[in-house]
Structure 1
């Protein structure tokens, strides 16, 4: 890709690269299947926040290095962990854990391999998910005596329904890519060698749209999960009024009008203006 540049000093555990208005965030502990440590979690959340605040970024793609997206929390991070320690850690967290749900920009996940535990929560917070055939999904929580952390139960039930969410969470079984697509956990399965390019291309297509529109519609969809129909409808009406009063709407309308008024370029092989008409081809 042209114009690629680091958007922040490279970290060994989380890498960020920005090109063509797309921020690519890569979880980079391939020797540990990109399992999260507390420090890595902070770096990832900070990378999301930084990309969201960067005016040169229109969409965000997240993926994992090596053969996994994220295998959950690193076992060493769980050793000796207790509620008091975790409360203190969360209270000191400079960027909220659910930052992905608060973004103003689209977030696309390119899931290249296993997705487990807290890695599943992060994947579910993306707006859409591309998966390689090698991708697999497991909650892992009940194996450690834990519950559905990171808002996983809320997210998963809204994507796949109550019964399927309970199956995935409580059984802790492994869900393959094909099943994940069938139940709506992921939207597209693409060959591993094309995964990142397809996710970037999708992000680039979104980036061509109005940043205002994308941010507001993301808010609408998330809010609508907890709204009744009258509330959601009235909000949509209010946002239309807001949209119509914005300069961007007027500018885009003027561009469309200018394109309609411009004379159409003659098709290849068509006669120029004023030329003698070509007689119709006789029918066979």
Structure 2
């Protein structure tokens, strides 16, 4: 599949980091149906590629993603949300919660870091929230935007936002649709790190490469799965899952390498097995 509105490049000394860039800078990377389909296909492709160990998502130009393209939003049919084009065959090996139109990021077995280089509004913010981490430019601006368009808290954001920033901040951001600056976003844990605009991508890619080179890919996949399951588990269930995974991890090649490189005081050579 040739992409028209996104771009995938590889980064890092061993090319283990995939950089996915939204490529509509003249429209502040506003989401279209084409971009939406391409983004889902790209993440499915990167999930299958064992040479990819971390993914960074960013926008081209001065914005991350300004939400749904207003031209498409203006003519959006009421039943668009349930169109068969957005439905996928159910995968019994993955939680149903992570198989909807935008909620598939947690099902990708690689860490996804959003490098938020500018405005992240509406669906742009939804994409960032489904990422595992959010690093932002000091000039980035955030807004839920939905209520100002006569819409509601879309695509699970009413579930995600309180768990990330707390119920009070979530109500504030959703009900007011006000703009939030990068420093305020950091203070409420909406983002984890801030960088000067000219350093954001370099620093985010460096962080992703550190994961790709120095952490077991097998461990990352299992831990991300644990984190994805945890909102739906009791403590007892979480411990039982951890015990099962611990039994398997001790038998893995990556565990042997993890011990060996520490004892031998050398860089790790993890295989992901």
Shared fold, TM over 0.5: yes
Alignment of 1:216-227 (within 5 A): 216-227=222-233
**Which secondary structure state, in structure 2, belongs to the residue aligned with residue 52 of structure 1?**
helix
> Which residue among 21, 35, 40 is the counterpart of 1:40?
35
Distance (whole Å) between structure 2 residues aligned to residue 83 and residue 89 of structure 1 = 14
- Deviations along 1:84-120, one digit per CA (max 9) or x if unpaired, are 2331255456885322121100101110000000110
**Which secondary structure state, in structure 1, belongs to the residue aligned with residue 106 of structure 2?**
helix
- Deviations along 1:177-208, one digit per CA (max 9) or x if unpaired, are 00000000001110000000000000001112
Q: For residue 125 of structure 1, what is the aligned residue in structure 2?
A: 130
Alignment of 1:1-284 (within 5 A): 9=2, 11-19=3-11, 20-92=15-87, 96-97=100-101, 98-208=103-213, 209-259=215-265
Q: CA deviation at 1:250?
A: 2.6
Q: CA deviation at 1:246?
A: 1.8
Distance (whole Å) between structure 2 residues aligned to residue 44 and residue 105 of structure 1 = 15
| Structure 2: gaps (5+ residues) | 90-98, 267-273
Q: CA deviation at 1:12?
A: 3.6
- Deviations along 1:96-147, one digit per CA (max 9) or x if unpaired, are 5322121100101110000000110000111111111110110111112211
Which protein has greater RCO, CA pairs closer than 8 Å, 6+ apart?
A: 2
**Which secondary structure state, in structure 2, belongs to the residue aligned with residue 193 of structure 1?**
coil
Q: For residue 271 of structure 1, what is the aligned residue in structure 2?
A: none
**Which secondary structure state, in structure 2, belongs to the residue aligned with residue 109 of structure 1?**
strand
Normalised by the length of structure 1, the TM-score is 0.83
Contact conserved, 1:18 with 1:24, CA < 8 A, in 2? yes
Higher radius of gyration, 1 or 2: 1
Contact conserved, 1:100 with 1:107, CA < 8 A, in 2? yes
Contact conserved, 2:32 with 2:72, CA < 8 A, in 1? yes
**Which secondary structure state, in structure 1, belongs to the residue aligned with residue 245 of structure 2?**
helix
- Deviations along 1:25-51, one digit per CA (max 9) or x if unpaired, are 000101110000111111111111111
Cα distance change on mapping 1:91 and 1:258 into 2, 3 Å: closer
Contact conserved, 2:106 with 2:224, CA < 8 A, in 1? no
Distance (whole Å) between structure 2 residues aligned to residue 256 and residue 162 of structure 1 = 42
Cα distance change on mapping 1:17 and 1:259 into 2, 3 Å: closer
CA RMSD of aligned residues (A): 1.9
- Deviations along 1:126-176, one digit per CA (max 9) or x if unpaired, are 111111111011011111221111211211111101111111011100010
Normalised by the length of structure 2, the TM-score is 0.87
- Deviations along 1:36-88, one digit per CA (max 9) or x if unpaired, are 01111111111111111112111000000010000000011112322323312
Q: Name the stretch that deviates more: 130-139 or 95-104.
A: 95-104
Contact conserved, 2:87 with 2:100, CA < 8 A, in 1? no
**Which secondary structure state, in structure 2, belongs to the residue aligned with residue 225 of structure 1?**
helix
